[in-house]
Amino acid sequence: MKFNYKIFSFILLTLVIEIACHNKYTKEANQEAKKQKKNKAKDDIEPIDMRPISLKHLDRPFRMAKLNLLWSKAVLRLSESKLKSIFSDLKLHDKEEITWKHLRAEGKDKDGTMEAKLRKKLLIIMENYDLLDQAEDLSDSDKVKRWKPLNEANDKHINKSLFKDKKLNKLWEKAERAGFTQEELLALKEEFGHHQDKIDQYYSLLHNVKGNPEDYENNAVEDSLDKFNKIEVQEESEKEPNKDYIDKVNLLRERHKEIKDGFDHLHLLSAKGPASKEFVEPKVQGLWKIAIESNFTPSELHSLKTELLHYENRLLKLRHIQVEHALHEEKYKEKEKMGIAGGKTDKASLMAENIKKHARKVEKIHLDLESRILNRHVEL
């Protein structure tokens, strides 16, 4: 009997394919695939490192835009040791400027005495680090506005004629800076326009239910549903509620939820821009980038973003303590070189211990967030 090699080859190939397909869908294969996906996502996150680091990577670490602009210049011109020093000075000045802003809002410092002192103080800082030539840029509002802190939009610089809703305008301003192409921006703008139409319809319905709504004057849709609870109280107080009125109120609740969900969707789309930045620290931004590509719901993402902001604040505080300690160490070494007596102080030891304690807390938070985000990313 003559052996048919063609038939044998065909049978062998079929068996190989079946085995491969079977392996592809086994529990072990799925676990291995998830492990590879998790490792790939983990590679996208900057590895956690709590040691004293270069400050050059910090983008807009201050709350005052003009200080962020000055910092961007300092990063290009100053040595690492001087950067640590100016970072510490600007951090302190930033707090003083914020305090002054609150006082001015309360109607204090009417004569401008405190404002003048702060301006003089900033000029002294600039002079100490040979940055006085940047004074003109810091007085230019058009240049300063580009350096607003992340997650903050200044109403004065928003194109209010683009969309009627204030929150929508703030989000659009972020989208414009997110690195989208012109075609992508046009498509995104169209979605923003549809969302504004829904807001207009909502206000029209709200006007029918409540007359002249207060929210219209504020020009922004609230996230809270408290105002509808007031309507419920009104319903309960009436012996025989009007059915047409109740139907409109229920429709109002539905439309409000649609608007909130729609806004969350637009926020997620805007955050996916290649140049989108929500956080100062690269490692926090890395976690956020993976989170928005995972299967979190909009409300879960909102909650997660709040957690990441708290984590970033702790991380920035750690950086600040590390800088203070490094400056203290440098002063000690200079004294040693000059032969000045005096060993390390108790303050230096306490600072070092505080850094270790803070670093452990920060690392624990990071690992918890990273684990939760990667687990949800793998589930996709």
The fold adopted by the segment(s) 164-275 is: Receptor-associated Protein (1.20.81)
Tell me the pLDDT band of 4, cut-offs 50, 70 and 90: low
Is 307 a residue whose pLDDT tops 90? Answer: yes
Is 344 a residue whose pLDDT tops 70? Answer: no
pLDDT, tens only, 132-187: 888 888 888 888 877 777 655 444 444 445 788 888 888 888 888 888 888 888 89
- Asked if 78 contacts 129 with a C-beta cutoff of 8 angstroms, the reply is yes
Token couple for 89: 């000075």
Query: What pLDDT is attached to residue 12?
Result: 57
The region of weakest confidence among 230-244, 305-319, 365-379 is 230-244
Tell me the pLDDT band of 31, cut-offs 50, 70 and 90: low
Tell me the pLDDT band of 226, cut-offs 50, 70 and 90: very low
pLDDT, tens only, 38-97: 455 555 555 555 444 566 777 778 888 898 889 988 988 888 888 888 888 898 899 898
Tell me the pLDDT band of 337, cut-offs 50, 70 and 90: low
The fold adopted by the segment(s) 43-55+277-380 is: Receptor-associated Protein (1.20.81)
Tell me the CATH number of domain 61-146, given options 1.10.3470.10, 3.40.50.300, 3.40.50.720, 1.20.81.10: 1.20.81.10
Ranges in the chain annotated CATH 1.20.81.10? 43-55+277-380, 61-146
Closest CA to 203 of 256, 246, 155: 256
Between 313 and 339, residue with greater pLDDT: 313
The region of weakest confidence among 46-60, 184-198, 365-379 is 46-60
pLDDT, tens only, 97-117: 888 888 888 888 888 888 899
pTM recorded for the entire structure: 0.54
Tell me the pLDDT band of 368, cut-offs 50, 70 and 90: very high
In the chain, the percentage of residues whose pLDDT exceeds 90 is 7
